[in-house]
Amino acid sequence: MREVAVLGIGITKWGELWEKSLRDIYVETALLALDDAGVDHIDSMYVGSMSSGIFVGQEHIASLLADYLGQAPVPSTRVETACASGGLALRLGFIEVASGMNDVVLVGGVEKMTDVSGNEATYALGTAADQEYEGYHGITFPGLYALIARAHMEKYGTTREQLAMVAVKNHCNGSKNPLAQFPFEITVDSVLNSVMVADPLRILDCSPITDGAAALVICPVEMVRKMNKPVIKIIGTGQATDTIALSSRKDLTWLEATYQAAKEAYAMAQNKPEDMDLIEVHDCFTIAEICVLEALGIVERGKGGEAAEQGLTSLEGKIPVNTSGGLKAKGHPVGATGTAQVVEIVKQLRGEAGERQINNPRIGMAQNMGGSGGSSVVHIFERE
């Protein structure tokens, strides 16, 4: 297989984008990525979207977006694995370039979530859980992650305050990211006094509903070298599944799909958790970041709660996590999140992260997750 690199990145301001439709949001972002890459031609494209069908009544967005980007007749593929759709789009693009089938592939993710009324967004997100065995009984995602949080607190003594500190850290990072949906700091007190959603999770433990997109142009490493651009290699990719229903797991606190995906990515990259200079993780809820850090092997099992508290994962910490603000502060347009994580890693590895730039990172990882952990996609990147 050929070596693959990220040549261009694109992302725009996220939030409630009522003036823009799904196609506008995507095309704007994709054009930025093509411009950043310095190419005017692509060989194919992949787009991740969790539920454009329910959110905006539009399936077949692979054709729609290729058309509106002015790129038809190139092959265009929509992939979906709930909130891990954006990371999955990168993996499939990676395989296509690595195989030699095509050279320049546009990889993106998009979701338009705010054009709904009542509880439609909660319903749409709920379709990532097992509808017959979980959704039917009325549980929604805050409820599922609340069960995980309660189990983690019981088993490992994780505290309510530790959960809050994850949100505080990510908002601190997000306050330095002008494209974030909520670019401001919050305090532990404000988290602890925010509205209860599903005990013990409060509203400031939850990532928001967001409209947004992100895009990448990937190609063979050789091509980047010839263009004299910074070489950000994709050195590892991993993807795995777990039981979709939380009730089928042996241990509610353990994210097996993330563990397996990371294992595959570490093996391919020939490195280990200690080699990472920064990580973007899927903090759809504060407890998720805690469990993910354990599954990735960044901290020991049960020690995830201490990471934010002790400053390990802060911008100045040993291993900065979610320098972008994470899903919590940056926003969580579900199908775009996995691609946006990679945009942040590339910005940091290139030294283009502005106020939140960390000191000379060389290796970064992005971990993206679907449902209550039923699927996960992990990528590792290295600056040459």
Residue 73, preceding bond cis, omega within 30 degrees?
yes
Residue entry with tokens 């069960």 = 147
Rounded Cα distance between 35 and 384, Å, is 22
CB 110 within 8 A of CB 212: yes
| Among 83, 206, 219, 284, the one annotated catalytic | 83
Catalytic residue, from 152, 171, 282, 332: name it.
332
Fill in the amino acid letter for 49: S
Cβ pair 341, 283 in contact under 8 A = no
- Is 379 labeled as catalytic in the residue annotation? no
* CB nearer to a copy of itself: pick between 43 and 161: 43
For 5-30, letters b (16+ CB in 10 Å) and e give bbbbbbbbebbebeebbbbbbbbbbb
Active site residue 83: yes
Q: Give the H or E element holding residue 11.
A: strand 4-11
CA 104 to chain centre: 22
The tokens describing 15, both together, are 């939030």
Q: Residue 143 phi/psi, 5° resolution?
A: -65, -45
Q: Which long-range contacts (CB under 8 A, 24 or more apart) does 39-43 make?
A: 39/7, 39/8, 39/104, 39/217, 41/104, 42/71, 42/74, 42/104, 42/105, 42/106, 42/217, 43/74, 43/75, 43/102, 43/103, 43/104, 43/105
User: Between residues 119 and 248, which has the closer beta carbon with respect to a copy of itself?
Assistant: 248
Full strand arrangement of the beta sheet holding 278-280 = 44-48, 105-111, 212-220, 4-11, 232-241, 375-383, 363-370, 278-280
Please name the amino acid found at residue 274: E
CB nearer to a copy of itself: pick between 22 and 349? 22
Name which of 21 and 310 has its Cβ closer to a copy of itself. 21
Output 190 or 243, the one with its CB closest to a copy of itself. Answer: 243
Q: Hey, is 194 helix, strand or coil? A: coil
Cβ proximity to a copy of itself: between 179 and 240 the closer is: 240
Give the residue with the Cβ less far from a copy of itself, 33 or 261: 261
What does 201-226 look like in DSSP terms, one character per residue?
A: EEGGGB----BEEEEEEEEEHHHHHH
Closest contact distance (angstroms) between CB of 62 and a copy of itself is 5
Give the whole-angstrom CA distance, residue 78 versus residue 59: 9
Instruction: Please choose, from the candidates 31, 35, 43, 47, the residue with its C-alpha nearest in 3D space to the C-alpha of residue 96.
Output: 43
Query: CA 278 to CA 365: how far, in whole Å?
Result: 7
> Which residues of this protein are in contact with a copy of itself, per CB under 8 A?
1, 21, 23, 44, 50-51, 53-54, 56-60, 62-64, 66-67, 71-82, 88, 92, 95-96, 98-101, 123-124, 127-132, 135, 239-245, 248, 256-257, 260-261, 370-371, 374-375
- Cα(379)–Cα(279) distance, integer angstroms: 10
Q: Which is nearer to a copy of itself, 72 or 203 (CB)?
A: 72
**Residues with a known catalytic role:** 83, 332
